[in-house]
Structure 1
Amino acid sequence: MSGPIKTINPATDEPLAEYALMNDDQVDAAVEACHKAFLDWRLKSLDDRAAVIRAIGKELRDSKDAFAKLMSQEVGKLISASHDEIELCAAICDFTADNGPSELADEEREIPGGTGVVTYSPLGVIYGIQPWNFPCYQAVRYAIANLMAGNGVLLKHAANCTGSGLFLRDVFERAGLPENLFTVLIIDHDQSDTVIEHERVRGVTLTGSDGAGKVVAKKAAENLKKTVLELGSNDAYLILQDADLDVAVDACVTGRIYNNGETCVAAKRFIVTARHYDEFVDRFTQKMRAMKMGDPFDEDSDLGPMARGDLRDTLHEQVTDSVKKGAKILCGGEIPDRTGAYYPATVLVDVAPGQPAHDDELFGPVASIIKAKDDEDAMRIANDSRYGLGGGIFSQDEDRARELASRHFDTGMVCINGYNLAIPNMPFGGVKDSGYGREHGGFGMKEFVNAKSLYIA
């Protein structure tokens, strides 16, 4: 077992806190305690569960300032983005409380000679492995749905936001969630494999890279446990020949730098038809060049630090490798001489297959611009990716854009003439190497339930 977890403020490189890893016996005891709490929680009525979840939303709002401050300290988020994140999480609680009882209610169906009933029974303890880019949201996204379904929930959060995971546990319990029903595990990767294997664990959900998804899915499959995977992406945003450039440029800049560019569904590849290419590149680059790096607590900052120095260095290596293979930097692209894990808003053109900027996920404020001959070529380039989480289309013909999005865009979510991160009443998830399964919109509540058939004569 490795040493304690030490969290670092990425804006200042100063230490924040230290957390001892749990030993194997403590991990086993924590899983068993979660299972015991589940045995009582599963018998609560849907309305009773919903009432607790509604209270969690209220407690999140009441704790917003303290929680937002901690998140910004741990991962470098702009303080405004941290506030937005907590409000989104509270809205998820509201939606779940409002809709959970009806989504999970028994359904009666006609069967020969009697009545059929479909009832949704909770499975048990669900294990979530979550990343650092949205310390509250990533955990809330799967936890609230599974608590509504009647399951117990385990969280292995990213090491650098350990404090946020523990803060969230305390929020849940202050709101009335039974102790141990939402349990934070402070563990290493080897112990995580043991948790997946644990007989009390009935399902596993991961948000992370496609590489991590393959490892976790394999381990879960070896133990015949269902998984939900929300993995990386290099989301394409298409500027079609009839696009409104004013709308497109503003939305694309926002979509690329929001949350310091560290977002699974960030706008990452900008595929621009020849008609608009030169003007889009010029206007987009001007706006990206104007993005001010600074203290995440400073209201004038447009871009905080990346969450860790090693993540910043990896991003820079991807940029450097892309340039070696033919890409050209129009702005940014250099590590600044300052304290903290900062990286400037960066624009790459002449992006082509074989470059990380084209093929891989650049998880930070780096934009890849690709020229397309026409609308058909733009859609071809967009779909020429192993990923398929999100994407976008800019067109003044909304009906045509909708048809392209629904029939031709091979991705889980598509924004039309704008940029959206996540909305509680809409499904969230991807296809191809971006994973499988859905969260939000009522779908997440049924990912880890037993849809049980009752045949009544």
Structure 2
Amino acid sequence: MKIKSINPYTEEVNWTYDSFSLGECRARIENSRAAFLVWSLMPVEERAKHFTRVSSVLRQNTEIYAEIITKEMGKPIRQSRHEIEKCAQLCDYYAENAARLLKDEIVDTGAEKSYVTFEPLGIIFGIMPWNFPFWQVFRFAVPAMCAGNVCVIKHASNVPKSALEIEKVFIEAGFPENVFSSLLIDSKTAMQIIKEELVDGVSLTGSIGAGSEIGELAGGLIKPLVLELGGSDPFIVLEDADIEKAAQAAVRSRFLNAGQSCIAAKRLIVVEDIVVDFIKAFERRVQELKIGDPMDEETDIGPIAKKEFIDSLDRVLRDAKKKGAKPHIYGEKPERGFFFNPVIIPAASIDMEVCNVEVFGPIAPIITVEDENEAVEIANSTIYGLAAKLWSQDLERAERLAKRIKCGSISINGMIKSDPRLPFGGVKKSGVGRELSQYGFREFVNIKTVVVNK
């Protein structure tokens, strides 16, 4: 089977690769198993030094990697550069903190000595998405490998060059061979790898459907599992919010990466006292967005990653129109490329599909509510619980309301950003487990109790 990388702006083929057979995967994973025996015994301080070198490789080659991202999935080049820098910062964090995070924890139990120690599990299999093709892989792999595991990944089929280039990053940084390995495979082969118990843990970022299927399979085999399954994040604006700042953040949060982000502001929930002023401020900033060639330094919104994704966005928009929506569409559509122009749906209703599913594209529904209680009720009304944003100048009130919103993380008067110092993940059907920080670091370790008696 051929795996093609298609440029969503030019609509031309970037690169073509042969997919790996199951036999090739078995052989590569066997090599990973051998690499684990060496890598896991390396002192954590020595492993950490490798990640300092990774951050250097990333920064030295930022333009190369950023261009690959942009060519493969259409992200504006400025945003692609930022993604690479974010990966470098992640490596810096774990290089500096791995030894502390893996340090034995002494517990006084009355015995001669009692402590908790953290040991790597083995081969961790990452099934990764295309929307942040470098960041998502690094977010999964760096903590897992720093803890002493080795990683193999199945990347999304539309970003094979990114997958192979990431593998080269680790080799160039001096990692032993097979500590990190990219497999160019389809979903069927990925499932078979799990079925054959070739790996010791699984991490998936993707849809609820994929998460349910992988979760059932891995759970049946009693494999450690982390699932990050997206969201329909509420962006709540209360009557005492700074409207201009909230509108500016809402535009960035909804339209970054053409709206193709799991933590994008997918439902704008605004108190009726200020909704007119908020919409005016929001529209004014949307009109300033530049749509076009993602390699252009001035571009804010590039194409959607794959042509077929446009059909699903059109379907969501048709559903909203049938239910009374009068969408506002902004900008001129470029003559070529898989573009979907920014859309605002004022007076969106909660029975619309756009307010209930994860919409991966630049559509912004605005839901008007009477007060904070209705805002919280609607925020919690979907099956998702990944992240949320809340705007109010009364910080005590905002923190009180934050406790009522069912999500994995919430930002008050700001945007949600995954940060290596903080755990990332969701509740309800947005996922299981956490990535990043000490909590994500320990998802794929054996938390072992040791009690010593005389």
TM-score, L = length of structure 1: 0.97
412, 418, 421: which is aligned to 1:422? Answer: 418
Report if the CA contact (8 A) 2:26-2:198 is conserved.
Answer: no
The letter for the 2-side match of 1:26 is E
Report the equivalent of 2:43: 45
Counterpart among 340, 343, 358 of residue 343 in structure 1 = 340
Residue 435 of structure 2: aligned partner: 439
**1:264 maps to 2:224:** no
Q: How much identity, in percent, do the aligned residues show?
A: 39
Query: Which amino acid in the other structure matches residue 369 of structure 2?
Result: A
How far, CA to CA, are the matches of 2:51 and 2:310 in structure 1? 37
What is the identity, as a one-letter code, of the residue corresponding to 1:186?
L
Per-residue deviation at 1:376?
Answer: 1.4
**Secondary structure of the structure 2 residue equivalent to 1:350:** coil
User: For 2:213 and 2:352, how far apart are their aligned partners in 1?
Assistant: 25
Cα shift at 1:342: 0.6
- 1:62 corresponds, among 54, 60, 63, to 60
**Does the 8 Å contact 1:5/1:19 carry over to 2?**
yes
Q: What residue is the counterpart of 1:370 in the other structure?
A: 367
Letter in 1 for 2:76: L
Q: Give 2:357's match in structure 1, choosing from 357, 360, 371.
A: 360
Look up the match of 1:142: 140
In structure 2, what is the equivalent of residue 83 of structure 1?
A: 81
Corresponding position: 1:181 with 2:176: no
1:197-216 equivalences in 2 (<5 Å): 197-216=195-214
8 Å CA contact 1:316, 1:335 repeated in 2? no
Out of 391, 395, 399, the position equivalent to 1:398 is 395
Return the alpha-carbon distance in structure 2 between the equivalents of residues 290 and 408 of structure 1: 35
Matched, 1:409 2:405: yes
Partner letter of residue 113 of structure 2? T
> After the TM superposition, which of the residue ranges 357-366 and 310-319 deviates more from structure 2?
310-319
* Cα distance in 2 between the residues matched to 1:307 and 1:103: 37
Find the residue that maps to 1:30 and give its secondary structure: helix
Aligned partner of 1:298 in structure 2 is 296
From 318, 321, 324, the equivalent of 1:323 is: 321
CA offsets 1:5-47 (integer angstroms, 9 cap, x no match): 0110000101101110111110110111111111110001010
Q: Counterpart of 2:27?
A: 29
2: CA distance, partners of 1:337 / 1:108? 62
The residue type paired with residue 419 of structure 1 is M
Equivalent residue letter for 2:133: P
Give the aligned partner of residue 389 of structure 1. 386
2:158 partner SS: helix
Q: SS at the partner of 1:442?
A: helix
Report the alpha carbon displacement of residue 283 of structure 1 after superposing the two structures with TM. 2.0
Distance 1:369 1:437 in 2: 31
Structure 1 counterpart of 2:340, one-letter code? Y
- 1:71-117 residue CA offsets vs partner (Å, 9 max, x unmatched): 00000000000010011111110111111111111122222332112
Which residue matches 1:153?
Answer: 151
Large movers: runs of 4+ above 6 Å: none
Q: 98, 101, 109: which is aligned to 1:100?
A: 98
Other-structure match for 1:314: 312
1:245·1:280 contact (CA, 8 Å) conserved in 2?
Answer: yes
Cα offset, 1:270, TM superposition: 0.4
**TM-score relative to the length of structure 2:** 0.97
Conserved 8 A contact 1:130-1:139? yes
SS of the residue corresponding to residue 126 of structure 2 reads strand
Q: Is the 8 A contact 2:201 2:444 kept in 1?
A: yes
Query: What residue ranges of structure 2 are gaps of 5+ in the alignment?
Result: none
Q: Which amino acid aligns with 1:215?
A: E
CA distance in 1, matches of 2:31, 2:447: 25
The residue type paired with residue 387 of structure 1 is Y
User: What is the CA–CA distance in structure 1 between the aligned matches of 2:153 and 2:363, rounded to whole Å?
Assistant: 30
- Bigger Cα displacement from structure 2, 103-112 vs 164-173: 103-112
Tell me, in whole angstroms, the C-alpha distance in 2 between the residues paired with 1:119 and 1:183.
27
Q: Is the 8 A contact 1:126 1:152 kept in 2?
A: yes
Q: State how far apart, in whole Å, the 1-side matches of 2:203 and 2:366 are.
A: 33
* In structure 1, C-alpha distance between the alignment counterparts of 2:436 and 2:396, rounded to whole Å: 26
Give yes or no for contact 2:387–2:416 (8 Å, CA) kept in 1: no
Give, in whole Å, the separation in 1 of the partners of 2:130 and 2:348: 28
Contact (CA 8 Å) 2:389, 2:416: kept in 1 or not?
Answer: no
In 2, Cα distance between the equivalents of 1:143 and 1:451? 19
Q: Compare 198-207 and 88-97 and name the one that shifted more.
A: 198-207
Q: CA deviation at 1:415?
A: 1.2
How much does 1:335 deviate? Answer: 9.7
Q: Secondary structure at the match of 1:420?
A: coil
CA contact (8 A) 1:99 1:442 kept: no
CA offset at residue 377 of structure 1?
Answer: 1.1
1:196 is displaced (CA, Å) by: 1.1
Aligned twin of 1:225 = 223
Q: What's the CA shift for 1:299? A: 1.8
Distance 1:456 1:210 in 2: 45
RMSD: 1.3
CA distance in 1, matches of 2:170, 2:68: 17
Residues 33 and 180 in structure 1, CA contact (< 8 A), matched pair in contact too = yes
Q: Matched residues in 1 for 2:45 and 2:141: separation? A: 17
Q: Give a deviation string over 1:204-259, Cα, whole Å, max 9, x none.
A: 00001111111110111121112100111110010001111011110100101111
Q: Distance in 1 between matches of 2:195 and 2:109?
A: 39
Query: Which residue is 1:131 aligned to?
Result: 129
- Number of corresponding residues: 453
- 1:293 and 1:167 mapped to 2: Cα distance? 28
Shift of 1:337: 6.4
In 2, Cα distance between equivalents of 1:30 and 1:326: 54
